[in-house]
Amino acid sequence: MDKTGAFVISLDFELYWGVRDKRTIQSYEQNLLGVRQVIPALLELFAKYEMHVTWATVGFLFCESRKELAGVIPRHLPTYSDDKLSPYPYLDTDAIGEHEQVDPYHFAPSLIKLISSYPHQFIGSHTLSHYYCLEPGQTPAAFAADLDSFQRVTRKKGYSSSSIVFPRNQVQPAYLSLCKKKGFRSYRGNEQSWMYHTRGAAEETLFKRAMRLMDAYVNLSGHNNYESLRRSPEGMVDVPSSRFLRPYSPRLQRLEKWRMKRIKCDLTHTAEHKRLYHLWWHPENFGSHIEENLSFLEEILQHYAMLRERYGMQSLSMEEAAAKWNQQEVRHEVLV
């Protein structure tokens, strides 16, 4: 069959583990609690439009209890230069409840079970602990131990992940061989534009963030779609990001039509030229202004459905894209 355009969606499912070093629970509580309403609504939308989606999930969320959480701590812990990046001292505090029913911020086994009960939903890895691969002080041994613990807890629950999304998009090329050895076959790389390159939090400048914000409304970096996917020398397939789906902001309400136009133009270009487009966000992003965010997403999915009818565009998970999409071999030195 001739190649058609492809629309990939991946979600970074983190709850409080993804923002623990940046926000208090109280400051993000609406989003964290709102995700309990958001995820069932997302799943219904994905089922309605037959969307194949990868849910890159933090391993801690699979745990049923505080006791089980303590039992998945890796043999080697990350030694970040910035102590606040490590979640392990935090595990010993009163902030962690006994189980999901009393602590919806740190546990999510019921939501993961719900996700896996819907068709075409894939559980990927977002590492065990929301591990930061480009922050000073962390090591390959600690990263490998994190992946080992992720796989132990997930396989115990009956899940097997073949895709990985690096937290905060901190793609570490030197770790791709480790991922491959652990059984992962695909990862989400970053957009090619300089404004999306990352080398850790220290290089996340205000200017780069401002440029990315503008790019969400005005085409500064191009359509960010891909004619083929790259396979690294280790055999890992890069299913790179095209766009972060920014959540609704009342302050930027007047620009919503431009944000929508940006994504629709990207998708149309993708379908017409038989390329691949990869949209991603966090379920927690939709936890406030839920109605506005879900309505915005449905309009995108409606546009995709039109492109599917007109051009044969298909929905693929990261796993499916890595297996089915045109790939090219990449010969380069992996930087350590």
Pairing of strands 6-13, 327-329: unpaired
pLDDT at 201: 62
Which residue, among 215, 121, 176, 137, has the nearest Cα to 333 in the 3D structure?
Answer: 176
The pLDDT tens digits for 7-48 are 999 999 999 999 999 999 999 999 999 999 999 999 999 999
**Each residue of 120-157: b (16+ CB within 10 Å) or e?**
ebbbbbbbbbbbbbbbeebeeebbbbbbebbbebbeee
pLDDT at 333: 39
Provide CB contacts within 8 A for 3, sequence distance 6+: 274, 326
Crossing angle for the helix pair 290-311 and 256-272, nearest 10 degrees?
20
pLDDT at 329: 58
Walking along the chain (336 residues) 10 residues at a time, the average pLDDT comes out as: 87 98 96 98 98 98 97 96 96 95 98 98 98 96 98 97 97 95 96 69 72 80 90 92 96 93 97 98 98 98 98 98 76 40
Q: Which two tokens stand for residue 25?
A: 């629970």
pLDDT at 183: 96
Single-letter code of the amino acid located at 309:
E
Backbone angles phi, psi at 101, to 5 degrees: -65, -30
Rounded to two decimals, what is the model's pTM? Answer: 0.93
